[in-house]
Amino acid sequence: MNRREILLGLSILPLAGAAKQTFEPEEETTAPAAEEWHPKKELIKTPVGSCIRSGHLLFIGGIGGWYANQRAEPGDIKVQIRSVLTTMKGILEGAGSSMSNVLKVQMTVADPNKNIPALNEAYSEFFPENPPVRSYSGSKTSQMGRDGILCQVSCIAYVD
């Protein structure tokens, strides 16, 4: 019996009400020291947010819904999510990817009960078919880091 089978048996048997088994541990074998793994990371310059490429994956983070130096008024959630996703699209394309290659989107949304329906409407314009998995967390408007911001987005995408 290998270690995996032993651990599996120990974790399942008590739940099944079966008697506990006793066992003798297998003799330890000394494996050669594994090389320490370091991902190859390449920082990609972006107008806002940040982007790192590691292998065939892109990690984009921290795109806010409003920047005063880009647009005078913050606008509503539809304006902000369109702005975020347009910026994200530009970053992806500049890194050799596209919106259709987005695997996961994470959002922080101010006052989600109020803003999610309108956000979803604008979001679907950018992902009309086969949208990526998405999750969000809610926040009070006062906790978004800067007055006027209603959403912040990060994503993971792949490069062909």
Two structure tokens written together for 159: 């490069």
- The Cα 4–Cα 141 span in angstroms is 48
Residue 15: pLDDT over 50: no
DSSP secondary structure code for residue 139 in this structure:
E
Q: In which residue are the tokens 């088994």 written?
A: 21
- For residue range 33-49, list pLDDT tens digits in order: 667 766 788 888 887 87
CATH architecture of 32-158: 2-Layer Sandwich (3.30)
66-111: per-residue pLDDT in tens? 988 888 899 999 999 999 999 999 999 999 999 999 999 999 999 9
pLDDT of the residue at 32? 60
Cα(55)–Cα(158) distance, rounded to whole angstroms? 9
Return the bridge partners of 113, or none.
Answer: none
Q: Which has more pLDDT, 115 or 5?
A: 115
Tell me the chain's radius of gyration from C-alpha atoms. Answer: 23
Query: Which residue ranges make up each domain of the chain?
Result: 32-158
pTM: 0.74
**β-bridge mates for residue 60, sequence order:** 51, 155
Q: What is the pLDDT of residue 138?
A: 95
